Each structure stands twice: as structure tokens, then as C-alpha cells.
Chain A
């Protein structure tokens, strides 16, 4: 899966900046997408392209359980968020709703990957290739159940009895 990076070099990007509380009443996915990241980067909607990835620091998606957060990012075109770590509910929502891949990266990838770099994510090899800088990084493998839910295409398509 290839895409370009939009980088936010900070920790604790919370759900209130990913999709501010005033939009929680909105359940139209296209409209939500126009407000994605509004609390942090008002230019996000004009710069994001289909297939882009976000790269950020620790505890991405902390705060609210609002599924609007991965929905807004996903419908903006974001296919994966690469972060040093994720907040629990954001991570779960991203996977169970099959909105985007939450990829836990190591410090070297966080430090070296820059805004605009083209990245190739190889989930089966647990590798991230930086095509722009010709470097390869390890990503943390998905835990067993997360990998299975992703492979199935979301929680509703996952059949635990067929494991």
C-alpha cells in the first residue's frame, strides 16, 4: 500500500482536534471529512489526497470514543495512520469499522520520515519502505485478533467461530 506522508511531529493528537465536538451531531461522512483535523490544521482538507498517510507521535487519537475521528480521516482519503502509539478506542474504532490501518512505528521511522515522503506499507512483512529516502523500517506487528479483524475487513465480517 503506497501513499504520501502528512506529518504532525507531536504527541497526544486528540479527538477534539481530529474532529471538534460541535460536529458530533453530524453523521454524514462526506461532511465530516471536510472538518477533519480542523482543530490542529485548518489546511488539512485542502492538502490531503486520496491514499495519503498521517504520521505522528505517541498516543494518537486520545480522548473521546467518537468514531467520527477515524471516519473523518478515512473519508478525507487517509488510508493509514503511522504513530509511535495509539489511544485505545481510536485504535479499536479504526480496525473494527475498517476505516484505516493504525500502524505502530518505531522511533527511527518517526524521526526519519518527512512530510511528503512516499511510503510503501507491507503489512505481511511488517515493514515500511520509505521510497523517497530509500530506507526500510520495522513496524510493530498487529496482535493476533487485530490482524484477523483487519484481514476479514472489519468486526462484522470477522467470524471468531471459524478461527
Chain B
């Protein structure tokens, strides 16, 4: 069995599972945020009216809550949702609630690794499609809707059809100025936005071994844009060190068998990758940066679960040091812990000296909600993961998806720029 089959077999109490088996898997961790939480509460209200008990959760210690999409609240509906979420965690005894404005908080998919909320080998579900991100720690991490999350909260398990696994073998090492984001955009460009549908995308090979845990998180985050059920990397010493440095211990390092089967195997040479963008209006609509359209940009957005981890901000600082931005540029570290490190290590000064605006950790403009959305006809280069029509604001705005290095280089020139070409 491969890693996903082994995790799902363990979680469903079976000695083995195979693709297309339908199982009920016991869930190890579940996350709700300020979008899915109020939705779950609505489902609970409906169940109560039907006579189904919602008095207690299956295990409040396995549940954690993030406030990320609509904080800081720009208006009263968002503010009321935050109050609903607080009442919910109080009522059900959920202690792990990362509240905006109180110590550590940030984007849920970033908290999941920054705060070591999820361990290798676990079944982790969340009410957000980019829950896939956390597969980089060697967990089966998968996004679900409100009804499914409500079911997990009450029953501790959920049904899955065991996915086929597509294996992406990455050889070698990414060149300078090329990041994991460039590689995953290349892969999505080739397999398409439904290329991973209903399946697992597993990454391995020397290129993945070489990669930092944070780069692997970017790879797994973007599997959602290929429609995958989940993305995963087998855990290694780097994952153990990463989680240990965040206070975690007792790892269950499940890896695939040597004779594990995959439905398809793809192979990529990391050394051949180039800075890449996805043009409007699809993550599969890719171009290498040197052949990207010569458009005047209005904005560079450096944020989100995909592109505002500490490593991402380090890459941005490398470009912005001693330079000035030519277009409106916003940097939103993905969690307070990252914000703090950026402050301690002088990154924030580099950003401010370059003329950038630094915002609080939030999903804000990535999902077109608040804190910097795009007007009609505006063009943005962004480290986020999706560029559908209207994703970051007006339906006639345009977003180019890029690595933090490309977004920073483009901020400096005002055009889509290969960081290798920056003077």
C-alpha cells in the first residue's frame, strides 16, 4: 500500500484498503474557521430542529478553530460571525481557538504547521479546500464542506472513497530564483485543473527530499487547484525537525511500502524549471515569466497560505532589499509567528523601506473579501493560489499567480518580471 492507503486503512480499522473502496475513517483532527464555523452552526441548528442531538462534540480536544477570512472585521456581519465562533468554542469546550488580536493567529493552513496542530500519519479534515496544504507533513489532509464537517464534529468519522494516487517524482534541485510555486504551476499547467480530480497527488524523489518543509507545503497547497482530493509527501527527518522545533513529539511516521502502487507516475527534472506564472483566469493557464504578456501591473499581493510563509518572505526580502516598489504592494505574513520572525530578522524594515504596506495575517484580498481587493480592469500579480474571474475583487479584474520572488521582482518594475532579469 502507498502512504495514503496505509493511513486510511489505519483510520478505518482495516488491514488494507484499495482505490475505490468506500470507508468510514476516524478523524484525528478537524479545523473550522470563520467561514465554515458559522455554516456548521447553521447545520447544527437544522439538526436540532430534526431532533438530532448536538449537545456535545465527539472530542473537543481534536478540534481547533481559526479566524482568518474576514478578520479584522470590516463590517458587522463579519464581526457577528466572530462572536458566533467564540460562543461556539465556549459552548463545546474547544480550547484551541486562535483568536484575532490575541497572541498567535493567522491563516488556518499556516497555523496547522506553525503551531504543529497536525501530525504525520493523521487523518486531518477542515472546512476549507486548501486543507490539502498540510499533506506536506505526511498527513492525509482533505477539505470538506459544512455538512461534512458538522458530521465529523458529532461522529468523529467521515466517509471517503479511497483515492487513486498519482505519483510525481521530482528529480534534482530547483535552480536559483525558481521556487516550489513555479514547479507546481508547471505541473498544474500540464495536468489541468481537473487533472487530479478525486485522486491523491503524492510528491517524492530527490527534488522533494532537497526541498524545505515550507516548499513542500506550497506543493501540497496547490494540489487543490488540480482538483485533487489531497496532496501528500512522505514524512522524513526534515518534517520531524520542523515539528519538534514547534514543540511536537511522538510521531507516527507512516510511509508507503516499497511495492506501493500508483495509478500514474509523472517525472519532472527540477533543474529544468523556470519562473512561471498562471495567467487569468485559471491556474492551468501558465507561461514562463519571460514569455508572459507585457502588461502594466496595478498591484503586487504577497500573502495567503500559499505564498506568505517565512521562507516566502525571505525570498521577497532578497529582492526588495535596497529597492523601491513601483506599484501598490501589500505583504501579509500568513501568521503572527511569521510576522514576529520577520520583525526580529529585519525583514519588515526592508519591506517598509521599499515602500510596501504590511498587513495583518488574513485571507482578505486572496478571496476578494477585504483588505485590498481589485477594482474593475485592475491587474494584480499575486502569490495566492487561484485566479478565477472575480477571485480578488471585481469580476473584470485580472490576477497572475506567481512565486514570491516573481511577485517581488514585478513589484519593483511594475511589469511581470523574471527575478533573474532584475537589474
Contact = CB atoms under 8 A, between A and B. Distances in A.
B39 interface: yes
Given A16-B389, A17-B389, A24 B35 contact: yes
B24 interface: yes
A88 B198 contact: yes
B24 A160 contact: yes
A59 B283 CA distance: 14
Interface stretch (A46-54, A91-99, A126-134): A91-99
Contacts of B36: 65, 67
A149 to B, nearest CB: 8
A97 B77 contact: no
A121 B35 CA distance: 34
A25 B36 CA distance: 9
Contacts of A22: 368-369, 373
A20 B368 contact: yes
Nearest to B150: A156
Interface in B16-42: 22, 24, 34-36, 38-39, 41-42
Contacts of B156: none
Given A14-B388, A16-B391, A24 B151 contact: no
Interface string A1-38: 00000000000101011001110111100000000000
A85 interface: yes
A108 interface: no
Given A25-B70, A39-B389, A39-B390, A68 B39 contact: yes
Contact of A97 (B78, B145, B386): B145
A101 interface: no
Given A62-B193, A156-B151, A89 B35 contact: no
A65 B151 contact: no
A89 B144 CA distance: 6
A92 B367 CA distance: 22
Contacts of B77: 25-26
B287 interface: no
The residue in B42, B81, B193 that gathers the most chain A C-beta atoms within 10 A of its C-beta is: B193
Interface residues of A, number: 37
B406 to A, nearest CB: 23
B146 interface: yes
Contacts of B368: 16, 20-22
B194 A59 contact: yes
B282 interface: yes
Contact of B197 (A21, A24, A88, A144): A88
Given A21-B368, A88-B198, A145-B22, A93 B47 contact: no
Contacts of B389: 16-17, 39-40
Contact of B194 (A39, A40, A58): A58
Nearest to B46: A156
B129 A21 contact: no
A36 B35 CA distance: 17
Contact of B148 (A26, A40, A92, A143): A92
A25 B86 CA distance: 15
Contacts of B229: 88
B275 interface: no
Contact of B388 (A17, A67, A93, A145): A17
Interface string B322-339: 000000000000000000
Contacts of B128: 64-65
A68 B129 CA distance: 13
A62 B281 CA distance: 13
Contacts of B388: 14, 16-17, 39, 63
A65 B194 contact: no
B189 interface: no
Contacts of A87: 194, 197, 227
A155 B22 contact: no
A156 B47 contact: yes
A21 B194 contact: no
A89 B143 contact: yes
Contacts of B369: 21-22, 24-25
Given A16-B388, A88-B229, A96-B148, A65 B143 contact: yes
21 contacts: A12-B282, A16-B389, A17-B395, A22-B368, A22-B369, A24-B35, A25-B70, A27-B42, A59-B193, A59-B227, A62-B194, A64-B367, A65-B143, A68-B39, A89-B129, A89-B143, A93-B148, A96-B151, A144-B22, A145-B161, A154-B147
